[in-house]
Amino acid sequence: MTSPTAPDSRHFEDETAARLARRPWPTTPIRPGVQVSFEFFPPATATGEANLAECAAQLAPLNPEFVSVTYGAGGTTQDRTQLAVNRLTNETDLSVAGHLTCVGATRQQVGEVIDDYLAVGVRHIVALRGDAPDGHADGSVHGGYQDAAELVAGIRTHVEGTEAQDLQISVGAYPEVHPKAHSAKADLDSLKHKLDAGADQALTQFFFDTDAFLRFLDSARSAGITAPIVPGIMPVTNFANICRFSERCGTSIPDWMHELFAGLDDAPEVHQMVAATVAAEQCRRLAEHGVTEFHFYTMNKPELTAATCRILGVRPGPAIAATATAAGDAVKAQAS
């Protein structure tokens, strides 16, 4: 007897196969010099630590420019973030960036985190104002940095000598405007202030409306911003969760995505195919407009990101692939 979901499953399989067949998927990268980076979140349990190790091991062969580890609202995951950064830095060959927020922290506390990062070999900081903890309207504290531009300047002041020359700072950008910004112009001015304060590049919030990113990029260039602006790509691991998260951060979801993912809760393999196709086509369209760097929000689920990169032609290098498994085993052993 056929299950009630089988016809829908076959329909989506046929639709996905036809969609793939219409694309001339290349066997080489979509453009010369494509670069990728990956973002993880800090695990809260031993099982999560092992999962992060597995995630890093699966994605390390793709030779990312860097991987980053996020901070929770108000620095709530600070200890776990630093632990994850420490392990990834010491036990893999990955270049690791540590997130740093200033909400709820004094300048002295921020400086201590910077020193801890430098001590384990981190030379890349993702500097963000951060979200206030639940129940706190603003999150600012006396003696702290008021915004991300002040934080960037503070990092540059705090780090001296050769370490300062080697330190890279990334900041956030919002193609569809930060939810708390007064206007699109004010949000763009904020980005410019962060870059003028000493940041090297911007990593954007995830988005699904590719045209919104391209308009934002044009506006940034017209405003005199010349620094790299790297698009944030979020492969859809769970569509319902993505919808909830998007509502909170002001990311729009096109109607066609609702139609495309409808009915796939009971067809996980088809969901994976559709999600990888959506993310890869988003990157391909951006590449057609000259974009060659992509920052993937992995949600510590590497399969979709790895599949997307493969579709794009980002393949493992032989030497890196040979050492990735050993590096992952080391991290997992430490976690256990």
One DSSP character per residue, 190-206 reads HHHHHHHTT--EEEEEE
Indicate whether 1 belongs to any domain.
no
| Alpha-carbon gap, residue 228 to 233, rounded angstroms | 16
- In sequence order, the β-bridge partners of residue 226 are none
Q: Which domain holds residue 321?
A: 7-330
**Region of poorest pLDDT, from 4-18, 92-106, 160-174, 189-203:** 4-18
| Alpha-carbon gap, residue 180 to 248, rounded angstroms | 11
Indicate whether 2 belongs to any domain.
no
First to last CA, the chain: 45
What is the reported pLDDT for 2?
40
Q: Tell me whether residue 247 is one of the annotated catalytic residues.
A: no
Catalytic residue among 13, 15, 39, 288: 39
Max CA pair span of the chain: 72
| Alpha-carbon gap, residue 207 to 191, rounded angstroms | 17
Q: How far is CA 128 from CA 98, 194, 205, in A?
A: 11, 10, 12
- In sequence order, the β-bridge partners of residue 100 are 127
Residue 63: is its pLDDT beyond 60?
yes
260: DSSP letter: H
What's the pLDDT tens digit per position in 208-251?
A: 999 999 999 999 999 999 999 999 999 999 999 999 999 988 99
Residues sharing a CB contact under 8 Å with residue 122, sequence separation 6 or more, in sequence order: 85, 89, 96, 97, 98
Handedness of CA 113, 116, 118, 121 (dihedral sign): negative
Residues sharing a CB contact under 8 Å with residue 3, sequence separation 6 or more, in sequence order: none
Indicate whether 335 belongs to any domain.
no
Residue 27: is its pLDDT beyond 50?
no
Residue 178: is its pLDDT beyond 50?
yes
User: What pTM, to 2 d.p., does this model score?
Assistant: 0.85
Q: Which of 107, 37, 97, 27 is nearest to 68 (CA)?
A: 97
What's the pLDDT tens digit per position in 109-166?
A: 999 999 999 999 999 999 999 876 655 556 567 788 999 999 999 999 999 877 788 9
Q: Which of 200, 196, 229 is nearest to 215 (CA)?
A: 229
Mean pLDDT of the chain: 85
Residue 168, both tokens: 């890279």
**Region of poorest pLDDT, from 96-105, 185-194, 219-228:** 96-105
State the total domains in the chain: 1
Indicate whether 307 belongs to any domain.
yes
Indicate whether 270 belongs to any domain.
yes
H or E segment at 83? Answer: helix 78-91
Indicate whether 336 belongs to any domain.
no
What is the CATH classification number for the domain harbouring 135?
3.20.20.220
